[in-house]
Structure 1
Amino acid sequence: MAHPLQELVHKGWLWQGRTAAEQIAPEQLQDSGWPELNRRLGGGWLRGALHELQVQQSFQGELALVLPVLRAQTQPCLWINPPAQPYWPGLAYQQLKCPPIWLHEQDTKQALWAFEQALQSRALGAVVAWFDDLDSHAVRRLQQTAAQHEQLAFVLTPWQATTEARAYVNRLQLHWQQQLQVRVIKRRGGWPLPPAPCAVTQLLPERRRLSA
């Protein structure tokens, strides 16, 4: 009979912190475009993984945080339920190699089905999805699919007052205080880290930087 703690680990309900990051092959890591974030995440975004970005409110730099990794993709990325229609001139300014494909689906079950299908596709560079919340079963299933197909995926959710265990590889909380602050509440092979600034405004056009 399995030990109760082992059952919790297997289900993804218990996170195991470690004092040192596990050894990961360099090709499994995707440069985030932000040196300090790379250091905090043990080298960058892990491919074959689901990463959660909790946002205090939308449009405070969360998309700019992942823009460098989206820009590096040579295949189109899928955006599921973005909070606003993508602004094509702005995306063109960011020099994405392929314009993103975007999907709006109000039915959560259908959106999750589309997400899972996208993770299995070799025609996509990455998947970015916005959800109000995902339960532990949905996160575990998506993480398993992302790992099986070596896909890179991001889930953007609202801030959560209490952080219940989820099978995300990395979990970040974002908020704006003069500039974007990134707090690591869960990371692969390491302990949580306090907020640190990320200069996402440097990706904006000059007039937007001045107004920001």
Structure 2
Amino acid sequence: MQLLMSPASPYVRKTRVTIRELGLTGQIEEIALSTNALDTDPRLASANPAGKIPALTRDDGPTVHDSRVICRYLDHLAKGSLYPDRRIWEVLTLEATGDALCDAAVAMTYEARFKGTEGKSGEWIEAQWAKAARILASLEARWMSHLSGPVDAGQIAVACGLGYLDLRHAGRDWRATVPELAAWHARFAERPSMADTVPPEA
């Protein structure tokens, strides 16, 4: 199998962390591509018509894409425990929350990068940050006990979303209002799977 990816993407990082947590590194080749919404790599477009990363190509079936689908597939393949039946709805909701944090943060990045100084909308960027801030507050108020439990897909998604805030929006100082979440992230970031997938700063 091959994972078509770009290491700076938080959705890619979530998938790469999952691969490592499940012990699947020897079965999946990671192929780094230079691709974006305005210039899609043809290999990616062929694998996923939406042109989005990550995409997982398989020898025995069609390409699997969307990080949530890929992570669920990999957990099934490895007979893992990242999606435990006994609390599946909490895990899936937390994973969706982590992905929503990524959505808002990536939207901020794209607005600034692809529209440039003259074309970007400050109101749009601040609206996306307001979403991110609400998510951070919700995680601090409602999810700390779950985040402190056994490692699951929801925790991985949140950790990768927070890591992306550090990568692209460090000036927002997200830790200032959510000290418990910040402390949890510092501990989770020490996991080998997280340390091995720290994205480049460029």
Structure whose residues are more often strand by fraction: 1
TM-score by length of 2: 0.32
